[in-house]
Structure 1
Amino acid sequence: MNDHPSSARGAREVLSTDSVFGAPCWVSLTSRDLEATQEFYGAVLGWRWRRGTLGSHFRTALVDDVPVAGIAAVAAMWQMAVAWTPYFAVPSADEAASRTRERGGTVAVGPISLPPGRAALLADREGATFGVWEGKLIGNWEAWRQDAPSFIRLHTRDAFDSAIFYGEILDWATDRPGCCEVRYEGGEVVLRSGGDVVARIESGALEAAPDPTIRPHWQVHFAVGDVPGAVRAAEKHGGSVLREAEEEAILRDPDGAQFTVTSRRQR
């Protein structure tokens, strides 16, 4: 998490992870070159930028003044992989980290304090990386859900096993009011929050596959109005195309981070 609005309007709309939990609440990118990353995603996704509260290596992406994603140019400095990572809202980052360890996952970073909350970077049993966030969410979570990723998808070996793993850590499908609903639909495990699809889990990824597009991982899907246009912009600004279809394309930015652009018609 990199930045949060502090206006009076934003303060009234702030939700905490005590009221929104188990759902994706943020996405963050680790990169090597901050300026090049801003130029690339500005061209491909039309994002504008503002400086984050954590220092000169951090930026927050904006769509119509709504914060939609964070960038941390710390991959080389902290010896971290260049990648997009989804963060899930939790009441306690420490408890989520403990549950992850207990169930065979890994705690890579944290939990650490990042005012106004706490965060941890984790990995599931198959090696897919994800984060958890405890504390205030972005100023208007509903606006973020509309303007940020259309959804995230976990590519893994066994969707049902993964759904149990994440469900036990993030309290999916519990009796607690406001928890995420989990159902099997169309060959995938589908996660809904407030009736909206916010994540999907599909089987088929190979643990040791050389192709990073099919190793277990969380894939972030960004909604765009023009998929071919986003593809051409990515190529023009140093990115590459891993797979392209009419309504969707898997892209790689100049640093190597993988993401998907999806037609808004599919939302």
Structure 2
Amino acid sequence: MARDLDAAQRFYGEVLGWRFRPSELGPEFSVGFLGGRPLAGIGAMAGSLSVPVAWTPYFAVDDADVAAARIRERIGTVAVGPLSFGTGRAALAADPQGAVFGIWEGKAIPDWRSDADDDGGPAWLELRTRDAFAAAIFYGEVLDWAGGRPDCVQVSYEGEHVVLRHGGMAVARLSGGAVEEAPDPQIRPRWHVHFRVPDVAAATDTAVRLGGSVVRGVHSGGAGHWTTLRDPDGGLFTIGESGTAAPAAPTRTEA
């Protein structure tokens, strides 16, 4: 969600190499494409909905009303919706630790795909939270993870982290240790989105030139090069080099 759709498109278009097209959701929402394929959406709705500028993961559900009821039953918060948007119904919510996420019923965008191994697309989602095990139970019950259906997400516990896989590929991680009152937004309970770029250093330089800022500088590891940035309106996101794996889990002092 952005305050100025045109400005957001210019920023992410240059940093991530996306091109934007209008969507069926109305004039305040556009879709970012790379190589002709839709990867993410930007909506100029932050002001009208009184929400901060942020990248928010939306999880597919069969019934938005049922999912919203499950969220409330498990001490989560449904802030907006469920409301009708184009061909779907959506709601904006927060888990019991305050991490914001969305739910979506129906088809968001025709031919939408978000394969984790595609260059430029969402490469990885990470939930930083106080208790990864408790978060896994909450999201598992709300979203029917590990429910036994062929298209369900598989959940595994690896060390102190919960790893989610779809089709055998790791797509998200739940990491414990975040503190609600922490001044650093990277260590508060929240979902972080990671995007792939061909060159992290070049994309970082472009982001800074266009008014963004570096939250965590370029760092290297077994997963390649990654850095965390803010867009000019404060939206937090991480970029990693194309072809690399998901970043290694941060240490207790970093997460």
Equivalent position SS for 2:81: strand
Could you list the per-position Cα deviations for residues 137-177 of structure 1 after superposition, in whole angstroms to 9, with x for gaps in the alignment?
Answer: 54445565435200110000110110010000011112233
Distance 1:76 1:124 in 2: 22
Unaligned segments of structure 2, at least 5 residues = 246-255
**1:60 matched to 2:31:** yes
Could you list the per-position Cα deviations for residues 176-234 of structure 1 after superposition, in whole angstroms to 9, with x for gaps in the alignment?
Answer: 33211000125321001111111110011101112211110000000111111111011
The equivalent position to 1:135 in structure 2, one of 93, 97, 106, is 106
Taking structure 2 as the reference length, what is the TM-score of the superposition?
A: 0.89
The equivalent position to 2:213 in structure 1, one of 234, 240, 252, is 240
- Relative distance call for 1:56 and 1:263 in structure 2 (3 A) is same
The equivalent position to 2:153 in structure 1, one of 180, 194, 198, is 180
Contact in 1 for aligned 2:125/2:171 (Cα 8 Å): yes
Map residues 43-82 of structure 1 onto 2, 5 A cutoff.
43-82=14-53
Contact in 2 for aligned 1:75/1:82 (Cα 8 Å): yes
Contact in 2 for aligned 1:66/1:143 (Cα 8 Å): no
Please list every run of at least 4 consecutive aligned residues from structure 1 whose deviation after the TM superposition is greater than 3 angstroms.
137-145
The equivalent position to 2:70 in structure 1, one of 99, 103, 106, is 99
Distance 1:142 1:78 in 2: 27
Matched with 2:193 is: 220
Distance 1:231 1:259 in 2: 11
Map residues 120-199 of structure 1 onto 2, 5 A cutoff.
120-142=91-113, 144-145=115-116, 146=118, 147-199=120-172
Unaligned segments of structure 1, at least 5 residues = 1-29
Contact in 2 for aligned 1:138/1:144 (Cα 8 Å): no
Amino acid at match of 2:20: W
**1:258 matched to 2:236:** yes
Taking structure 1 as the reference length, what is the TM-score of the superposition?
A: 0.85
Distance 2:112 2:86 in 1: 18
Equivalent position SS for 1:77: helix
Indicate the larger mover: 101-110 or 146-155: 146-155
Equivalent position SS for 1:213: helix
Matched with 2:250 is: none
